[in-house]
Amino acid sequence: MADIIQLLPDHVANQIAAGEVVQRPASVVKELLENAIDAGADVIKLIIKDAGKTLVQVIDNGKGMSHTDARMSFERHATSKIKRAEDLFQLSTKGFRGEALASIAAIAHVELKTKQELDDVGNAIVIEGSEVASQDIIVTPTGTSVSVKNLFFNIPARRNFLKSDNVELRHIIDEFHRVALAHPSIGFVLYNNGSESFNLPVSNYRQRIVNIFGNKTNEKLVPVNEDTEVLSISGFVGKPEFAKRTRGEQYFFVNNRFIKSPYLNHAITSAFEGLLKSGTHASYFLNLTVDPNTVDINIHPTKTEIKFDDEQTLYAILRSAVKHSLGQFNIAPVLDFDRDPNLDTPYSYKTNKTSAPKVEVDRSFNPFQEETKFKTNAVAYKKESPANWESLYVGLESKGNQNQEDFSSIQFETEEHSASIFDKDIQVEQSHTTYQLHNKYIVSAIKSGMLVIDQYRAHQRVLYEDYLKNLTVKEAASQQLLFPLELHFSTQDIEVIKQLKGDLEHIGFVFEIMSEEALGITGVPVGVPESEVSIILEQLVSDVQNEVPDSNFSASDLMAKSLAKSMAIKTGTALKKEEQEHLVNTLFACKEPNVSPTNRATFITMSVDELDKKFI
């Protein structure tokens, strides 16, 4: 029998490796930025075109590569970071497996320009689909420039799986934020389609956070610092009152490497226990420094998940450090709940002597005297009693009789009593047609049995069709605010809101100003509370960034779904009888009453026969 096992060609092996390393343009951004950091650069530029599908270019001023190293960097498992297996547990750099450039070159057109500081000229290499097209000597600045063009040009199926430009750009910016936050001592610049989106100068950690997420972030941060033999913690957590409904601003860095850890995230959530509103998530930007021997960062292809030797100890230290910071800066409540801080003596009066109050009494006062004088600050009061007080009651009897005669001649107008179009018995029956169960379901009797409606999903369907109609007709009513509402968002979120501004105005929002970090709103849709506007826009931005408005979806449809989800009555809300009946009636007036906007059932029916079978 002939042999059937054979070695894969290099270009096929590289494409398979690329499937693990490069899932989307953001993966290329991550690998190239980490290579630039390992090269010792202090200024790194990232250039993006068409959300990375056309171009991803990273330019750094690091140490560069020689002619041979430039060529070897595209070979599989070619690395300068490790030489022995033991080196895997002493890593202090980003890339170490030598697969990034080889994998990227297998699925894109790559152009590399590099020069070392002591060399007069540099090298340029062009690779297309793992094949070297050219390698020349050129004049170029010190450092390295890597251009990745036409990603997945030779794998059309992978390219078709890429999301919309907005979604892919959001992933790129997320990776950019993670790398920039981990290295505040390096300057970063991001250009998107020719315009500068971020320019982050060298700064401290707090200023780097503010430069990325906006100036308003500064007042939201609480410093966290803890230094133990096992773990060193530094960074910031957000104040509970600024907690968001999305998990966007949550960053863990272990030895300057961004990681995802649900276990450590639970430690933060536990530290904030009792301080957060339901459904909100605290923000945190925490740097953890541990011994490299105690972690394994080679368990995941993208190196975003790592394994700790002693997770329980890290959990306890992290939770205690965050709770200590919240208490130290008076974020957490004090134990003396009955103490009123308004009764504390001001600092400026603490050294002053107090004197007992004095009360002056006029001991010569006689209330039975006809004429009495009260001496109060030289103001005299004279009491006079009329001598002919009996005359006050003269004629009262006659006046009373006269009034009685007048009342007898008065005629009262009565409203005509109109008979109800419904019978009294029917009205009583109708007032009991709905019943709310556990503040979650509305139960109603129907001819064949019983109807159970999920009030949250049902209200979503009603609002969704209303908003979709308003977006189409563009004639939604707006309620004007007495005072303009000023909201602050990050630069990235403001860009999303600017793209949606036209649709938001069609459903009732009125914008006064729109700067790089703030919004001025003077009008909101009818029925939207002013206190909910920030939450609604925040949820809308998150939905637009995370969901996929492909050819089957429109921006209007996505916006209507998001707004309906935010504005629908939540589970646990008690409804009056009139509100229950109105919700039922409006639901069955919808075009598709049986499903919510997310295609989940809004109600179920149970026939009398099904109920009878339950009692057999």
Q: Could you tell me if residue 577 is inside a domain?
A: yes
pLDDT at residue number 268: 92
Average pLDDT score over residue span 133-149: 92
Same domain, 231 and 292: yes
Give residue 332's pLDDT band: very low, low, confident or very high (50, 70, 90).
low
Average pLDDT score over residue span 455-463: 92
Euclidean distance between CA atoms 599 and 616, whole angstroms: 34
Q: Residue 39 is which amino acid?
A: A
Same domain, 143 and 20: yes
Q: Is the confidence at residue 311, as pLDDT, over 50?
A: yes
Same domain, 193 and 210: no
Report DSSP state, residue 284: E
74-88, 101-115, 269-283, 416-430: the lowest-pLDDT one: 416-430
| 3-state SS assignment for residue 254 | strand
Average pLDDT score over residue span 385-400: 61
Give residue 429's pLDDT band: very low, low, confident or very high (50, 70, 90).
very low
More confident residue, 522 or 542: 522
pLDDT at residue number 302: 64
Same domain, 66 and 90: yes
319-323, 403-407, 519-523: the lowest-pLDDT one: 403-407
158-167, 313-322, 452-461: the lowest-pLDDT one: 158-167
Contact 557, 563 (CB under 8 A): no
Q: Could you tell me if residue 70 is inside a domain?
A: yes
Q: Is the confidence at residue 147, as pLDDT, over 90?
A: yes
Q: What's the distance, CA 194 to chain centroid?
A: 28
Q: Is the confidence at residue 416, as pLDDT, over 80?
A: no
Q: Could you tell me if residue 413 is inside a domain?
A: no
Average pLDDT score over residue span 143-164: 87
Give residue 159's pLDDT band: very low, low, confident or very high (50, 70, 90).
confident
The highest-confidence range among 155-159, 234-238, 331-335, 443-447, by mean pLDDT, is 234-238
Give residue 383's pLDDT band: very low, low, confident or very high (50, 70, 90).
low
Same domain, 115 and 19: yes
Q: Could you tell me if residue 167 is inside a domain?
A: yes
Q: What is the mean pLDDT of the chain?
A: 80
Q: Is the confidence at residue 398, as pLDDT, over 50?
A: yes
Closest among 386, 379, 376, 451 to 611, alpha carbons compared? 451
Number of folded domains that form the chain: 3
Reported pTM: 0.68
Q: What are phi and psi of 487, to 5 degrees?
A: -120, 145
164-178, 329-343, 444-458: the lowest-pLDDT one: 329-343
Query: How many percent of the chain have pLDDT more than 90?
Result: 26
Same domain, 288 and 143: no
Same domain, 175 and 211: no
pLDDT at residue number 425: 39
The highest-confidence range among 231-235, 344-348, 478-482, 548-552, by mean pLDDT, is 231-235
pLDDT at residue number 426: 34
Average pLDDT score over residue span 431-454: 84
Same domain, 162 and 232: no
- Domain stops at, among 328, 353, 378: 328
Give residue 145's pLDDT band: very low, low, confident or very high (50, 70, 90).
very high
Euclidean distance between CA atoms 563 and 464, whole angstroms: 8
Same domain, 258 and 131: no
pLDDT at residue number 322: 93
The domain that holds 183 is classified in CATH as 3.30.565.10
pLDDT at residue number 401: 54
Contact 602, 461 (CB under 8 A): yes
Same domain, 65 and 147: yes
pLDDT at residue number 45: 95
169-183, 381-395, 463-477, 589-603: the lowest-pLDDT one: 381-395
pLDDT at residue number 577: 87
Q: Is the confidence at residue 189, as pLDDT, over 90?
A: yes
Q: Could you tell me if residue 3 is inside a domain?
A: no
Average pLDDT score over residue span 77-95: 60
Give residue 431's pLDDT band: very low, low, confident or very high (50, 70, 90).
very low
- Domain stops at, among 266, 293, 328: 328
pLDDT at residue number 124: 93
Chain segment 471-510, per-residue pLDDT in tens: 777 666 778 888 888 888 887 788 888 888 887 888 788 8
Q: Is the confidence at residue 158, as pLDDT, over 60?
A: yes
- The CA-based angle 304-21-61, given to 5 degrees, is 80
**Which range marks the domain in which residue 169 is found?**
10-200
Query: How many percent of the chain have pLDDT more than 70?
Result: 78
Same domain, 591 and 455: yes
By CB neighbour count within 10 A (0-12 exposed, 13-18 middle, 19+ buried), where does 503 fall?
Answer: buried
Same domain, 167 and 246: no
Q: What is the DSSP string of 379-430?
A: B-------TTGGGGGTTHHHHHHHHHHHHHT--------PPPSS-HHHHHHH
Average pLDDT score over residue span 266-273: 91
Report DSSP state, residue 116: -
16-20, 216-220, 226-230, 509-513: the lowest-pLDDT one: 16-20
The domain that holds 279 is classified in CATH as 3.30.230.10
The domain that holds 559 is classified in CATH as 3.30.1370.100
Q: What is the DSSP string of 32-81?
A: HHHHHHHTT-SEEEEEEEGGGTSEEEEEE-S----HHHHHHTTSTT--SS
Closest among 98, 54, 93, 90 to 74, alpha carbons compared? 98
Chain segment 226-262, per-residue pLDDT in tens: 999 888 999 999 998 888 877 778 999 998 889 888 8
Give residue 598's pLDDT band: very low, low, confident or very high (50, 70, 90).
confident
Give residue 91's pLDDT band: very low, low, confident or very high (50, 70, 90).
low
Q: Could you tell me if residue 353 is inside a domain?
A: no
Q: Residue 476 is which amino acid?
A: A
Q: Could you tell me if residue 615 is inside a domain?
A: no
pLDDT at residue number 360: 80
Q: Could you tell me if residue 377 is inside a domain?
A: no
4-8, 112-116, 171-175, 312-316: the lowest-pLDDT one: 4-8
- Domain stops at, among 328, 348, 368: 328
